[in-house]
Chains A and B, each alone.
Chain A
Amino acid sequence: MKRLAHELLESFRIAFAQLRAHKMRSLLTALGVIIGIVAVTMMGTAINGMNVKFNESLAMLGSDVLYVQKWPWSDVEDWWNYVNRPPIRPEMAARLNRIIQDTPNSLLQVAVPVMSHPQTVKRAGKEVDGVYTAGTTSDFRYILATDFEAGRYFTETEADDGRPVCILGNDVAHALFPGRDAIGQTVNIKDHPFRVIGVFVHQGDFLGLFSMDNQALVPLDAYRKYIGANDQTELRVKVRDKNRMTDAMGELRGAMRRVRGQLIGTRDNFTINQQEAFKKFLDPVELGISVAGLTVTSLALFVGCIGIMNILFVSVKERTKEIGTRKALGARRRTILLQFLIEACSVSLLGGVMGLTLTWGLSRLIALAVPTLPIQVPFLLVVIGFVVSIIAGVLSGIVPAWSASRLDPVEALRYE
Chain B
Amino acid sequence: MVPKAPSSLDRTTRPPGPLVIAIDGVTKLYVMGDETIHALRGVSLQIRRNEYLAIMGPSGSGKSTLMNMLGCLDTPSAGRYEFAGENVKAMTDDELADIRNREIGFVFQTFNLLPRSDALRNVELPLIYAGMPSGERESRARRALEDVGLGHRMHHKPAELSGGQRQRVAIARALVNHPSIILADEPTGNLDSQTGVEIMALFEQLYQRGNTLIVVTHEEDIARHARRIVRLRDGLIESDAAI
Contacts and interface: CB of A to CB of B under 8 A. Distances in A.
Contacts of A333: 93-94, 97
A322 B110 CA distance: 12
Interface in A219-255: none
B101 A409 contact: no
Given A328-B100, A410-B68, A6 B73 contact: no
Contacts of B125: 326, 329
Given A325-B114, A327-B97, A330-B101, A413 B108 contact: yes
A321 B112 contact: yes
A329 B126 contact: yes
A223 B97 CA distance: 92
B114 A330 contact: no
A328 B73 contact: yes
A2 B101 CA distance: 16
Contact of B129 (A17, A322, A324, A329): A329
A213 to B, nearest CB: 64
Contacts of A334: 94
Interface in A1-22: 2-3, 6-7, 10, 17, 21
B206 to A, nearest CB: 18
A332 interface: yes
B62 interface: no
A330 B129 CA distance: 6
Interface string A301-345: 000000000000000000001101111111111110000000000
Contacts of A3: 129-131
Given A3-B131, A410-B68, A410-B73, A330 B116 contact: no
Interface string B140-152: 0000000000000
Contacts of A325: 108, 112, 114
A333 B98 CA distance: 11
- What is the interface residue range for chain A against chain B? 20 to 34
A330 B112 contact: no
B73 A330 contact: no
- What is the interface residue range for chain B against chain A? 20 to 34
Contacts of A332: 93-94, 97-98, 129
A331 B130 CA distance: 9
Q: Which 8 A-B pairs have the closest CB atoms?
A: A330-B101, A3-B131, A330-B129, A325-B112, A332-B97, A329-B126, A409-B73, A332-B94
Contact of B126 (A7, A321, A324, A330): A330
B106 interface: yes
Interface of B: 68, 71, 73-74, 93-94, 97-98, 100-102, 106, 108, 112, 114, 116-117, 125-126, 128-133, 173, 177
25 contacts: A3-B130, A7-B128, A17-B117, A321-B112, A322-B114, A325-B112, A325-B114, A326-B129, A328-B73, A328-B100, A328-B106, A329-B173, A330-B97, A330-B102, A330-B129, A330-B130, A332-B93, A332-B94, A332-B97, A332-B98, A332-B129, A333-B94, A334-B94, A410-B68, A413-B108
A10 B68 contact: no
Nearest to A321: B112
A5 B106 CA distance: 25
B97 to A, nearest CB: 5
Contacts of A324: 112
Contacts of A6: 128-129, 131-132
Looking at A10, A17, A326, A330, the one whose CB has the most chain B CB atoms below 10 A away is A330
Contacts of B116: 17, 21
Given A17-B116, A410-B74, A413-B108, A330 B100 contact: yes
A329 B179 CA distance: 11
Nearest to B99: A330
A10 B128 CA distance: 8
Contacts of A2: 131, 133
Contacts of B126: 329-330
B65 to A, nearest CB: 9
Given A21-B116, A332-B129, A334-B94, 4 more contacts: A7-B131, A325-B112, A329-B173, A410-B74
A171 B126 CA distance: 75
A334 B125 CA distance: 16
A331 B94 CA distance: 8
A321 B126 CA distance: 16
A7 B129 contact: yes
Contacts of A409: 73-74
Contacts of B117: 17
A329 to B, nearest CB: 5
A329 B131 contact: no
A333 B100 CA distance: 13
A322 B111 CA distance: 11
